[in-house]
Amino acid sequence: MSDRKMELRHDRHTVSLLSDHMVFATKYRGKILVDDVAMIAEGIICKTCVEMGIEIIEIAVNPDHVHIFFRYPPKYSLSYIAKKLKGVSSKRLRDEFPHLKEWCGDHLWAPSCFHGSVGNGWEVVSKYIETQDVHHAKNAIYRPRP
């Protein structure tokens, strides 16, 4: 991990080093984040983060969940960040891909999410998210549909 990532964030009235590892899943853990849907989802999440002043350190879009490791300004709570990222991406993805509306109706994401506050373990979290594609490929089990 570069030293740049560990630098303190200096805003007008605060100095902070707030980082989080957030994971949120699709509704019913449906494996819908594939191909163009995954690519567009990552773009929407990244753009929303830029608009909020959130720095993404690592992101992995898997077929049924998303990992994001990021630095965020103290003016936002983690619940607000999750609500914003899930809300914006859900609306835009359902507008862009009408078949998602048929599958999930008004909500693309499951209502819950995981937050892991990250202190000195930046390298561990970054490496874990970076290797998500390999991790999921090794653990993929073929389950024929009934």
Residue 76 a catalytic site member? no
Residues 6+ apart with CB under 8 A from 142: none
E strands of the chain, at which residues?
Answer: 9-10, 15-16, 19-26, 55-61, 65-71, 109-117
Cβ atoms < 10 Å from Cβ of 21 = 22
Beta-bridge partners for 60 = 67
Catalytic annotation, pick one of 28, 72, 80, 128 = 128
| Contacts of 60 by beta carbon, 8 Å cutoff, 6+ apart | 66, 67, 129, 130, 132, 133
Which residues are tagged catalytic? Answer: 128
